[in-house]
Amino acid sequence: MSARRRPRTAPANQLNSISTTQDPKTPPATCAPDDAYALNRSTDFFEHAMSTLADITSSFRTKPSEKARAAADREAILADPGFGKHFTDHMVSIDWTTERGWHDAEVRAYGPLLLDPAASVLHYAQEIFEGLKAYRHADGSIWTFRPQANAERMQRSARRLALPELPTELFVESIRQLVNADAAWVPSAPETSLYLRPFTIANESFLGVRSAQRAAYYVIASPAGPYFAKGVAPVSIWLSTEYARAAKGGTGAAKCGGNYAASLLPQKEAYDNGCAQVLFLDPLEGKYLEELGGMNVFLVKKDGTLVTPELSGSILEGVTRASIIQLARDRGITVEERKVTAQEWRDGMASGDVVEAFACGTAAVVTPIAALKGPGFVAGDENAPAGKLTMSLRQELTDIQYGRRADPHGWMTRLV
């Protein structure tokens, strides 16, 4: 298996005032007319920004932790890591200001952040995050899955939350740096991985309602055990009819903490009703499927068609979702991205027109859904086995991630 080709250059917003959508020969809006004229006459400004990006990407400082766990303690954790309970010895941090852009990239000891009580993130939730994994292959090498897609999604989230956009190359390099520092924390047992959590917060101290002029990007890592400790098991999900996850024109398509905070109360309602996850409906009419609290949803029709809610602007564009769609189309399966009503699902399960359902996301990869429950109804059989297509797609995707199968789309990037 060969490493994925080098990601395309994507100059990022606020990297020395260059936007991802800005023409290299067009000056930033903050330039004076004379400066703008000069910049339009040459590519010096753009070339300087690219040079700056290359410099920061290649100049990560490393400050090894003085309190790294002993090998025996680490191995004890890796034997039963759970999910998000333990963290590696190091973290990545990169600072940003409007004056300097991204700077001071370093790998340093994992530890608490020093935040002023007036930091913008604490008051106005100006923050975004991502989630991806590092996988140890049979030969000991360590790889990650589609990091460029996560980087691009984080840039979209940053635009929506008025935060600086981290360049794709710098995002990938930050992952590489941390995994190289903490390679011993990547477990090797089946279905295990190192979960990576990049995030950006606004850390300028002020109480005015505006976008911050100072921010910081971090990456932390946590060893993850198998999501299904006793094997993949179908779950029941709860249809929320009272709460909406996001509104039209809101932040539903961004991966920001506020979306997840808003899902916690309906998620508790799901637990109280014996369900593993909550499914949200559209905020306008309250009848079209959107997504689960942290996963996208798919239905499998009797004729083999795969159906998933279209990206409406209030649904997160999942990397796993996109990958499942591609793998299905590779097989010649018809995939429909369209509006799907909850009634279509309920009626389809009753008539036999819907034969499988599943959810997908980074943590669980693919989760079979046995039943849909809501106030006063149960659709499906809570004891039904996982569907054949569901499990086949899950197997194919995890085989690619763990290096057990060829990677035809070049999705994997080697880290170590």
CATH number at residue 313: 3.20.10.10
- Token readout for 124 is 């106005």
CA pair distance 361, 358, nearest whole angstrom: 10
Neighbouring C-beta atoms of residue 207, cutoff 10 Å: 8
* pLDDT tens per residue across all 416 residues of the chain: 444 444 433 444 444 333 333 333 333 333 444 444 444 444 454 555 566 677 787 789 999 999 999 999 999 999 999 999 999 999 999 999 999 999 999 999 999 999 999 999 999 999 999 999 999 999 999 999 999 999 999 999 999 999 999 999 999 999 999 999 999 999 999 999 999 999 999 999 999 999 999 999 999 999 999 988 778 999 999 999 999 999 889 999 999 999 999 999 999 999 999 999 999 999 999 999 999 999 999 999 999 999 999 998 999 999 999 999 999 999 999 999 999 999 999 999 999 999 999 999 999 999 999 999 999 888 899 999 999 999 999 999 999 999 999 999 999 999 99
CA pair distance 21, 13, nearest whole angstrom: 8
Is there a domain that residue 21 lies in? no
Looking at the fold, whether 216 and 249 belong to one and the same domain comes out as no
* pLDDT computed for residue 55 by the predictor: 78
* pLDDT computed for residue 48 by the predictor: 55
Single out the residue in 203, 224, 245 at which a domain terminates.
224
Does this model's pTM top 0.75? Answer: yes
* pLDDT computed for residue 57 by the predictor: 75
Looking at the fold, whether 261 and 178 belong to one and the same domain comes out as no
Looking at the fold, whether 388 and 256 belong to one and the same domain comes out as yes
Which residues does residue 195 pair with via DSSP β-bridges, in sequence order? 133, 222
Looking at the fold, whether 280 and 202 belong to one and the same domain comes out as no
* pLDDT computed for residue 63 by the predictor: 96
Looking at the fold, whether 116 and 163 belong to one and the same domain comes out as yes
* pLDDT computed for residue 52 by the predictor: 67
* pLDDT computed for residue 361 by the predictor: 97
Report yes or no: 253 and 317 within 8 Å, Cβ to Cβ.
Answer: yes
CA pair distance 382, 19, nearest whole angstrom: 50
Looking at the fold, whether 143 and 275 belong to one and the same domain comes out as no
* pLDDT computed for residue 146 by the predictor: 99
- 83-122 in b/e burial notation, b at 16+ Cβ within 10 A? eeebbbbbbbbbbbbeeebbbebbbeebeeeeeeeebbbb
Is there a domain that residue 39 lies in? no
Q: For 343, what's the count of Cα atoms within 13 Å in the CB-facing half-sphere?
A: 3
* pLDDT computed for residue 58 by the predictor: 75
* pLDDT computed for residue 320 by the predictor: 99
* pLDDT computed for residue 44 by the predictor: 52
Is there a domain that residue 2 lies in? no
Single out the residue in 224, 244, 278 at which a domain terminates.
224
Is there a domain that residue 277 lies in? yes
Looking at the fold, whether 107 and 183 belong to one and the same domain comes out as yes
Is there a domain that residue 46 lies in? no
Which residues, at least 6 apart from 175, have a Cβ–Cβ distance to it below 8 Å?
132, 134, 144, 147, 196, 198, 219, 415
Looking at the fold, whether 112 and 248 belong to one and the same domain comes out as no
Is there a domain that residue 252 lies in? yes
Maximal C-alpha separation, the chain: 72
Q: Give the structural domain span for 290.
A: 235-407
Single out the residue in 199, 224, 249 at which a domain terminates.
224
Is there a domain that residue 283 lies in? yes
With tokens 């090797």, the residue in question is: 188
Looking at the fold, whether 118 and 239 belong to one and the same domain comes out as no
The domain tally of the chain equals 2
Q: List the CATH number of the domain containing 124.
A: 3.30.470.10
Looking at the fold, whether 158 and 299 belong to one and the same domain comes out as no
Looking at the fold, whether 380 and 239 belong to one and the same domain comes out as yes
Is there a domain that residue 181 lies in? yes
* pLDDT computed for residue 43 by the predictor: 47
Looking at the fold, whether 290 and 339 belong to one and the same domain comes out as yes
